[in-house]
Amino acid sequence: MGSTVFDSALFRDMFGTVEMRAIFGDEALVGYYIEAEVALARAQARMGVIPKEAAIAIEAASKGIKLDFDKLKQETDIVGYPILPLVHQLAAAAGEAGRYVHWGATTQDIMDTANVLQVRAALAIVERDLRELRDILAAMAKRHRDTPMAGRTHLQQALPITFGYKAAVWLSSVDRHIERVAQVKPRVLVGEFAGAAGTLASVGERGLEMQQLFCEELGLGQPAITWHVARDGLAEAVTLLGLITGTLGKIATDVMLMSATEFGEVSEPFVHGRGASSTMPQKRNPISSELMLAAAKAVRQHVATMLDAMIHDFERATGPWHLEWASLPESFLLAGASLANAKFMLAGLVVHEKRMLDNLGLTRGLIVAEAVMMAAAPKLGRQHAHDVVYAACREAIEGDGNLADILGAVPEIVEALGGVEAIRRHCDPANYLGLSGKMVDRAIAAGG
């Protein structure tokens, strides 16, 4: 049985996905280690540093090897790292060619490169999910471009907006994250082969050529200089996940609040039994949003850990590197789960347009007090218009009245706006949506 939410049979699909676990599981990680070792042998054979036959034999051994994971685990506990125990098994499987396995490399070369290969595979999933999420949000924004609802600041009704505008704001963040994924790849998807202190001393004058061919074999960029104690690349990758899950956490928070009984403006997709209470039959809890918010908070902590892990001492760290072993995979698992939850929840989100309209009427016109003030300002002056409308708002609040009716009894407002009917028009929230629609159109087109 699992001991954490990431390997628990009960919770693992809430805090990770099958795809992400396939990338960061033990078998996959060891597979990436072997891929790096084979790529190194191929690169060295291309240069004539090791016999071509040796590289062929090493690659053949990598495909047919039956790893003893129990032995690998035991020796890893002793050594502190898995590469030397793995090299023993791979070298034995390669026979005579085994002498050339791991030629000139150091443990961190292989482990760092394997992590980069993991990040590459994981970023492909993140990028795909972001693009699918973009399509969902763009469709939502377009469909509800002109659906009026209350905009809220400090949890109070502020001014009317449209639900499409809200969805387009969410969409704009997703578009920026898609850009960020593309921008981060050249900085992060870089191989590591530099030897014990990073100087390539073990492979001689042609070391940079060997490094180039090694990276080429793996489809990775070649670094300008060794990065094994300059960890900003991997820290940036996790920080990006922090930004992505932060956006999803914001969306989740909006949806959870709008799902509250007192708001009742949206509901998560109905799946029989999902979000049910063990004691209250009426409950339909926003589970997907809750998991998205939890992921945002957890990844945020991993961002801090990865920033801390950047502080390496001299040319080989005494411990900060190990922090990445926990934070890197967990961050991608959490981000993958959050994106999966976001796609499911938003694709099936139930929007209660009538309830949005009803909520707009809760203040009996107070939500558009600014509209009346700005319309009267050219005749009365801004400050005087503010004072008159402010007094009318106080009367409406204290007397539980309708703002349009109260303003209709104020001669200077009637005169300034051109009649009682004009007052009622200005007090209709649907007539004070600003440029919501045009902004929605721009947001949809921006990433199209």
User: Which pLDDT does position 272 carry in this prediction?
Assistant: 57
pLDDT at 282: 54
Residues involved in catalysis = 154, 277
| Nearest residue to 198 via CA among 92, 319, 299, 105 | 105
Mutual angle of helices 26-47 and 207-218, in 10-degree steps: 130
- Kindly report the length of the chain: 448
Q: For the chain, how big is the Rg over CA atoms in Å?
A: 30
Per-residue burial over 38-73, b if 16 or more Cβ lie within 10 Å, else e, is: bbbbbbbbbeebbeeebbebbbebbeebebeeeebe
- How far CA 39 is from CA of 62, 87, 409, 417, in Å, comes to 11, 14, 84, 77
pTM score above 0.85: yes
What one-letter code names the amino acid at 296? A
Residue 133's pLDDT is 98
Q: In the chain, which residues have pLDDT < 50?
A: 276-278, 280-281
3-class DSSP string for 171-221: HHHHHHHHHHHHHHHHHHCECCCCCCCCCCHHHHHHHHHHHHHHHHHHCCE
**Domains in the chain, start-ordered, CATH in brackets?**
120-139+154-351 (1.20.200.10), 361-446 (1.10.40.30)
First to last CA, the chain: 46
What's the CA gap between 377 and 355, in Å, rounded? Answer: 32
Structure confidence at residue 280 (pLDDT): 47
Distance CA 330, CA 127 (A): 18
Between CA 417 and CA 223 the distance in angstroms is: 68
Dump pLDDT digits (tens) for 199-236.
999 899 999 999 999 999 999 999 999 999 999 999 99
Tens-place pLDDT, residues 303-315 = 999 999 999 999 8
